[in-house]
Structure 1
Amino acid sequence: MKKNALITGANRGVGLALVKAYLSAGWRVYACCRHTVDAAELQQLQANNTALTLHQLDVTDYQAVAALSQEMTDVPLDLLINNAGYYGPKGYGFGNTDLDEWRKVLEINTIAPLKLAESFYPQLLAKQPGIIANLSSKVGSMTENTSGGGYIYRSSKAALNSVAKSLSNDLSPQGIISVALHLGWVQTEMGGPNALITPDASAAGLKQVLDQLTLEDSGSFIDFQGQQLPW
């Protein structure tokens, strides 16, 4: 029987690479993005692969998230990958934080992953273990923050790490694993052209980490190479 994965932010970058990685491994993938009509690569993949289903979803539209969960009531999920993310403004300094952008980043990066976990809890519970993979960043690590700045994105990922940890405490006894993952500095629209690794390399590493997770790993902060990161 095929395993099932739900991946948000699946139309480009690491999200798209994860879709390809899991399809190649024989999984059934439910790929979500805000505008499926603009997701040319996803559409092409779907045309050639019956194991891929596309869903138009804004992760901050919680009524739509609940509706999708209802639509997928009978789909047991082995894996929920909270990949959709938003960086927000770059290059601002102390005293110049855009509050509206900060709220938007927190909504997408921190609140939406929890709401997705809550909505798809029944589907994750149907698998032992179901995994909630929260794609974070080491810039959300308090220990790693030695340079300051980056208030908006840093705070959203630090908060996401807290969400991942609380989900672990609440759901591990029920057989659901929750982790925070650092995908590396990736050559994407967010990471920029000078980043160190390709989306495919990041996705391959993340998949290897996720394949090897056990309930004892729940609540961990891990990078794409399998290294434990400090909070």
Structure 2
Amino acid sequence: MPQNVVITGANRGLGLELARSYANEGDRVFACCREPESATELTELAQQSDGQLTIHPLNVVNEAHRQALAAVLTGTPVDVLINNAGVYPQKGADIGDLEARGWLEGFYVNTIAPVLLAQTLLPNIRSGKRRLIASVSSKMGSLADNSSGGAYAYRSSKAALNMAMLSLSHDLRDENITVILLHPGWVKTDMGGVNAQITTDKSIAQMRAILDRAGIDDSGSFFDRDGSIISW
């Protein structure tokens, strides 16, 4: 049966291709991004979707934007929420270049906003059939996997996201709401860069395999793109 899917950061990269993937399968996609007016590819996708995909302005750190999205979705069940929007704060900065403002921005976008959006849309998720909250994390947020150092702001924001979503998985388990985290791989996107290891298409196919089968027994899991479990 068709699903209602909310995707943040849907204007480019993984978010755009996730939106395309779900829309092509006949699901109803609520594609969210900060500046819809400049989201050319997403707009083209919406125009070709026969109403399957709609675009919604959402700066994930903006409370008014989150509430406006909730108003649009009033009475609409949400089967899948994908927290994809993210930033790579202070990329390339070493210990001598760190500063608080950029670090805090990374935490707000990567860690706090996904939890607050889940909070805002929880009534919709409760009425959905799938009841799935999936957040795009990164293996760089794994304490066990950190063997190279650096990326202080990005690593710590994703590690904190992992912890927050693990807590959410415990809190929502009795309501049969599944909460998972996904590492998409090092993907050739604007954020991943040209030296990344895999294409967007491959990452999307592997993530969709996880998303499509995830159930309550998987709640609280941190998945690598191949379906294996990543250590915290």
1:61 alignment counterpart: 62
Matched, 1:41 2:37: no
Matched, 1:92 2:99: no
Displacement after TM superposition at 1:2 (Å) = 2.1
TM-score, normalisation: structure 2: 0.97
Conserved in 2, the CA contact under 8 Å of 1:84 and 1:109?
Answer: yes
Displacement after TM superposition at 1:95 (Å) = 3.0
1:230 alignment counterpart: 231
2:7 alignment counterpart: 7
CA distance in 2, matches of 1:69, 1:181: 24
Matches within 5 A, 1:157-196: 157-196=158-197
CA distance in 1, matches of 2:164, 2:205: 25
2:136 alignment counterpart: 135
Is the alpha carbon distance of 1:175 and 1:129 closer, same or farther for their aligned partners in structure 2, counting shifts above 3 Å? farther
CA distance in 2, matches of 1:36, 1:148: 36
Displacement after TM superposition at 1:116 (Å) = 0.4
Conserved in 2, the CA contact under 8 Å of 1:9 and 1:84?
Answer: yes
Give the ranges of 4+ consecutive aligned residues of structure 1 lying more than 3 Å apart after TM superposition. none
1:102 alignment counterpart: 103
List gaps (5 residues or longer) in structure 1.
Answer: none
Three-state SS of the structure 1 residue aligned to 2:173 is helix
Displacement after TM superposition at 1:14 (Å) = 0.4
Amino acid at match of 1:175: N
Higher mean alpha-carbon deviation, 218-227 vs 127-136, is at 127-136
CA distance in 2, matches of 1:14, 1:116: 19
TM-score, normalisation: structure 1: 0.97
Conserved in 2, the CA contact under 8 Å of 1:129 and 1:215?
Answer: no
Figure out how many residues of one structure are paired with residues of the other and give that number.
231
CA distance in 2, matches of 1:39, 1:128: 30
Matched, 1:149 2:150: yes
Displacement after TM superposition at 1:82 (Å) = 0.3
Matches within 5 A, 1:206-225: 206-225=207-226
CA distance in 1, matches of 2:165, 2:208: 18
CA distance in 1, matches of 2:24, 2:75: 23
Displacement after TM superposition at 1:159 (Å) = 0.3
Three-state SS of the structure 2 residue aligned to 1:111 is helix
Amino acid at match of 1:167: L
Amino acid at match of 1:208: A
Displacement after TM superposition at 1:128 (Å) = 3.8
CA distance in 2, matches of 1:71, 1:37: 18
Displacement after TM superposition at 1:60 (Å) = 0.4
Conserved in 2, the CA contact under 8 Å of 1:117 and 1:132?
Answer: yes
Displacement after TM superposition at 1:164 (Å) = 1.0
Is the alpha carbon distance of 1:128 and 1:2 closer, same or farther for their aligned partners in structure 2, counting shifts above 3 Å? closer
Amino acid at match of 1:4: N
Amino acid at match of 1:227: S
Three-state SS of the structure 2 residue aligned to 1:230 is coil
Displacement after TM superposition at 1:170 (Å) = 0.4
CA distance in 2, matches of 1:25, 1:227: 25
Displacement after TM superposition at 1:87 (Å) = 0.2
2:123 alignment counterpart: 122
- Percent sequence identity is 46
List gaps (5 residues or longer) in structure 2.
Answer: none
Three-state SS of the structure 2 residue aligned to 1:75 is coil
